[in-house]
Amino acid sequence: MIKKILIANRGEIAVRIVRACSELGIKSVAIYTDADRHALHVKKADGAYNIGSDPVLGYLNAHNIVNLAVASGCDALHPGYGFLSENPTLAEICARRGIKFIGPPAKVIHQMGDKIQARQAMIKAGIPVIPGSDHNLENVEEARKLAKTTGYPVMLKATNGGGGRGIRRCNNEEELTKNYDRVVSEAGKAFGKPEVFLEKCVVNPRHIEVQILGDNQGNVIHLYERDCSIQRRNQKLIEIAPSPQLTEAQRQYIGGLAVQAAKAVKYVNAGTIEFLLDSDNQFYFMEMNTRLQVEHTVTETITGVDIVQEQIRIASGLPLQYKQSEVSYRGFAMEFRINAEDPKNEFLPSFGRITRYYAPGGPGIRTDAAIYTGYVIPPYYDSMCAKLTVWNLTWPGAIERGRRALDDMAVYGVKTTIPYYQEILKDPEFRSGKFDTSFVETHPDLINYSVPRPPEQLAAAIAAAIAASEGM
């Protein structure tokens, strides 16, 4: 069994991994930049090392991070998500230095990170894929020619993209021509490779993904699906497990597809197969994420499987603890990404000091956070500062529990997406469980919420009123 893990990440996911290590009796080592010296993961880990003054590059220097893992006596490294988590170079360096990488082999990360190679692998495995190009586009003329064959609208995508970046919808030839160079540029800047491909645009699909686990003995299971259709500009906001939109037959079908896809590429560790479901109830493979997902919490909540601990066990060479027949789900779970953003101002980031933080509690509530009262959210990283996960036996019950938990949760000093989510939970379409990826775009009125007065302001007003009355 692994004895000591270096966590090559920050924020709430680093805290999550520290907790998994603690329960397994494994020592944890955190890394941090100067900007993160007061971060919660630094305080919670068994040890912590400064990786420099640059707030971003420190977390992206694979050689330095692996050197630190070796120097600090770690025998494994967990990449979390984001940063280097889907960079095959990190896995390769770990293998050379004798450090167990808690994730799939570098070869699989490279294959499934390249969207063209991933499409080819899925076609070979008999998995339905969206019609599109089977190679990187040479130029805009080739893109225009292919688009005439598939029909508009089409999606231009970075071949090595992810996280909702490097994607543009083109409704006609004029938009395709205008966006081509832009997407190529975005692909080069964001992912280091100015390579793009084209797919038919599935209009207003439902975004359904399946969590899988695979071990080194060739066993693969799925942990059912998550519905990620509530998203803005390809960035997920609310995730639900299981999907309230699927029948049991669809659920079993897509779970089987995910296992088939993972076995086809000899997948090991935790991963996610993402699908689009069109209006004709046809599933299409979209991509595979070769890492832990932000929204893994909802899957853990409905199945009882600790995905992070399973990752560590698999990396230790142990077989899966569960057979597919032993995995079941119960109830519904929803995860809300609590972002330090202002929905009323185009979701602009709202960084700064948290003057008050109140975490919700009660039955069926889970909070994964990296914040505390007095913590200063730095401006260099993703705006997500916490995740709220709620569970209930029924879909209506999960909605009401989510509403109550969001009412209980309070983050003051910065603006957050909490009040926006409260409005979403009131919407009849959302409550019916019938929605697609166009939901946010087609419900702009949900931004028109009123924000209650912060409790410290209310307390000050009451104190002033009392003082005034006593002076009369």
Active site residues: 291
Q: What one-letter code names the amino acid at 177?
A: T
> Residue-wise over 172-198: b if at least 16 C-beta within 10 A, else e?
eeebbeebbeebbebbbeebeebbbbb
Phi, psi (rounded to 5 degrees) for 467: -65, -40
Phi, psi (rounded to 5 degrees) for 224: 70, -175
In order, the DSSP letters of 279-304 are TT--EEEEEEE-S--TTHHHHHHHH-
Question: In which element (H, E) is residue 275 found?
Answer: strand 269-277
Number of neighbours of residue 452 by Cβ within 10 angstroms: 11
C-alpha 300: how far from chain center: 14
Query: Which residue, among 375, 338, 206, has the nearest Cα to 276 in the 3D structure?
Result: 206
Range 370-373 contact pairs with CB under 8 angstroms and sequence separation of 24 or more: 370/10, 370/11, 370/12, 370/14, 370/15, 370/39, 370/40, 370/41, 371/40, 371/411, 372/40
The strand ranges marked E within 153-234 are 154-158, 167-170, 196-200, 206-214, 220-232
The residue count of the chain comes to: 472
* Rounded-to-integer distance, Cα 373 and Cα 377, Å: 11
The strand ranges marked E within 114-264 are 154-158, 167-170, 196-200, 206-214, 220-232, 235-241
Number of neighbours of residue 282 by Cβ within 10 angstroms: 13
Helix axes 173-191, 140-150, angle to 10 degrees: 120
3-class DSSP state of 237: strand
